[in-house]
Structure 1
Amino acid sequence: MLPATFKLCAGISYRHTRNMTGLRKNALAAIHHELNRRAGPGSGNWINQVRRRSSFLSSRIEEAEEYSPEEVTYVRQGESALQEAISILGEQEGWTVETVASNGDRVLSKVVAGVGKVFKLEVVVDQPLETLYGELVGNMEQMGDWNPNVKQVKILQKIGADTMVTHEVSGDTPGNVVGPRDFVSVRCAKRRGSTCFLAGKSTQHPGMPEQKGVVRAENGPTCIVLKPDAADPNQTKFTWLLSIDLKGWIPKTIINRVLSQTQVDFANHLRQRMASNVSLEMAPAC
């Protein structure tokens, strides 16, 4: 499953829904404050690059005056998820190795105050960043075609260039250890310089109420970070932060095993998908 769902972000005032300049100033100030607090000698290089690009902190909201209060709320939720994910990924201490695959893929975890246990997948994919970004963002609704952990991804609503609301339905786990789950998510896609982000958090949407027979799970913040490998620009460093509440009475040991394995499986399925795309492009025309 590839959820990117999250809790509703409270605290948006009616004045700000009418004044996008005020909304952006508050959001930028909050993100600037968090990055300044987190970034330091122990921070990752990508955080420092984000700090150097002030343009990253703006929403790029075109024709903002035409946004409805509901759309403004979704935009703010997406930015909140991105801010929270950056904060967690910027913490270098306290991570525990969950699993390391033979190819070097690894999953780490830590407990974050106010969030719970989060998982972080770190892999290198033998594909250029642009190709991966196009698959994960541009072809998002096709994910169920190549990832057996996902039955369906549907875009419910798009807001501007950066924000969307999606509905995801998870696939069956081996032995049906975890039954069907669905997620309604707000996603914030950002491309700044050489780094791409896809962050998200659980939300609600009038077009997708809870479904009978399917448990509505929650997660967030989540974030996929794509950066070109410094040693080979045709390869991409892929980091996936995952935080999820599957709901129901499932032992934590099972949840931890399922989530970490899901991340490792996702990396393998993604590689197979990209290799298949390359093969199709190279096949001679009939």
Structure 2
Amino acid sequence: MLPATFKLCAGISYRHARNMTGLRKTAMVAINHELSRLSGPGPSSWVSQVRRRSSLLSSRIEEKPYNDMEMSYIKQGEEALQKSISILSDQDGWQTEIVAANGDKVMSKVLPDIGKVFKLEVLLDQRPDNLYGELVDNMEQMGEWNPNVKQVKILQRIGRDTMVTHEMAAETPGNVVGPRDFVSVRCAKRRGSTCFLAGMSTQYTGMPEQKGFVRAENGPTCIVMRPSMEDPDKTKFTWLLSLDLKGWIPKTIINRVLSQTQMDFALHLRHRMAENSMAELQAC
């Protein structure tokens, strides 16, 4: 259903960056603080990889001057990543929604000021780089392999890691949930062998509400892809999903649809990656 598309997004503030230095310090301190919380007992190499190169925002600013609106989008993407990391770092309070025979699992918890969030955890027989290429570099092709997504379009790119997108979700079977669309700011990062795709809903003057669609909101949401500890050729794939579908829809239906959407996404992504691997073999 609406979704899968990584609707990484949620509430936005349009306070334009007044001071680049202050913004840089605030964003980096906040992200480093949350990354520190993530490094609990046990292996946390992917956390240290992010921390070692967490000066991305400052490097972007030095590369090229951005206007106030572009800086606002960059800040929103960084905030989505920070909030998502904070949520994922807290292992308490998660309730199991669905567990598949292959071990795929969807869990949920209710958070103040956000509401119910869902977390998909799966193990995929792919390297993180391959998945990053499909989900980020080929983002606009998602509608070709994910039946829950009608279309994904990149409206604007800002630097190397930030983009504004428009996603149109396919109708659910029986039209239980009518057509929804989302305008999102996304932050895509690669830190060592770990990849991130985070985001939240935003406003974009070039994409007003569309006829026949309800403009829903999402976020913070985030996909984290890191190598499995047991087999570096496999990926521990985690997807945090938070959606406000708007309109009048019973919560029981929303919970069922969103958790099933995440399970379906894992299935469709596996099929897509298998097809890519087959095509590569045939090309050799």
Higher relative contact order (CA 8 A, sep 6+): 2
Q: Counterparts of 1:55-74 in structure 2 under 5 Å? A: 55-59=53-57, 60-61=59-60, 63=62, 66-74=65-73
Report the equivalent of 1:34: 34
Counterpart AA for 1:263:
Q
- CA 1:47–1:276 in 2, change beyond 3 Å: closer, same or farther? closer
Query: 1:106·1:122 contact (CA, 8 Å) conserved in 2?
Result: yes
- CA 1:176–1:43 in 2, change beyond 3 Å: closer, same or farther? farther
Query: 1:4·1:186 contact (CA, 8 Å) conserved in 2?
Result: yes
Gaps of 5+ in 2: none
Offset at residue 278 of structure 1 (A)? 1.1
Alignment partners' CA distance in 2, 1:225 and 1:141: 19
Offset at residue 209 of structure 1 (A)? 0.6
Identity %: 63
Offset at residue 30 of structure 1 (A)? 2.1
Offset at residue 182 of structure 1 (A)? 0.1
Offset at residue 172 of structure 1 (A)? 1.5
Q: Could you give the per-residue CA deviations for residues 71-126 of structure 1, whole angstroms, max 9, x where no partner exists?
A: 00000000000000000000010000000011100000001111110000000111
Counterpart AA for 1:138:
D
Counterpart AA for 2:240:
L
Q: Could you give the per-residue CA deviations for residues 38-77 of structure 1, whole angstroms, max 9, x where no partner exists?
A: 34646883674357x2322532415555211100000000
Query: 1:9·1:76 contact (CA, 8 Å) conserved in 2?
Result: no
Q: Counterparts of 1:11-160 in structure 2 under 5 Å? A: 11-13=15-17, 15-16=18-19, 20-36=20-36, 38-39=37-38, 41=40, 45=44, 48-49=47-48, 53-59=51-57, 60-61=59-60, 63=62, 66-160=65-159
Report the equivalent of 1:168: 167
Offset at residue 11 of structure 1 (A)? 4.2
Q: Counterparts of 1:208-223 in structure 2 under 5 Å? A: 208-223=207-222
Is it true that 1:188 corresponds to 2:187 in the alignment?
yes
